[in-house]
Amino acid sequence: MDLALSTVQTVFAVLQCSQLKEVLSVWGLKSDLERLDSTVKTIRAVFCTFHRKQAQGIELNEKELDFIERIQDVVYDADDLLNEFATLAAQQQQQLQNCKKVRRLLSRLQKFASDYKMSRELKNIRKKLGG
């Protein structure tokens, strides 16, 4: 139960991440994220209630135990999925940084090529002028 509650809280915290929200919004998944966030909030509240009951020494009934068992797997799946999204977002961020580096390098190479071309043309003009 404690592990499941901890995982629910982790999933809830990840869902609050602005970078994840931005990436999922770009991918057109903003409404799905909002629905998942709402569901996780509800699950979190239920798990907290169950946790308080246990802390007070009140045993959970069979329905509650069944609910916990069924939801745990789904929560773990959601955690895995969010980890995949986080990994993809980090990879995209790295690719963007790499693209910027390549653009800067190409810009410098283009300037170098342009400078070299101008230098060659200047030498040709001086040669024609006899100098």
- Write out residues in the chain with pLDDT < 70, as ranges: 1, 3-5, 12, 131
What CA–CA distance (Å, rounded) separates 104 from 26?
Answer: 25
- Note the pLDDT of residue 67: 86
* Phi-psi domain of 17 (left: phi exceeds 0; alpha: psi -120 through 50; beta: other): beta
Q: Dihedral sign, CA of 38, 76, 19, 91?
A: negative
- Note the pLDDT of residue 96: 80
Q: Which amino acid is at 4?
A: A
What CA–CA distance (Å, rounded) separates 128 from 131?
Answer: 7
- Note the pLDDT of residue 62: 92
Pick from 88, 100, 101, 98: nearest CA to 19: 88
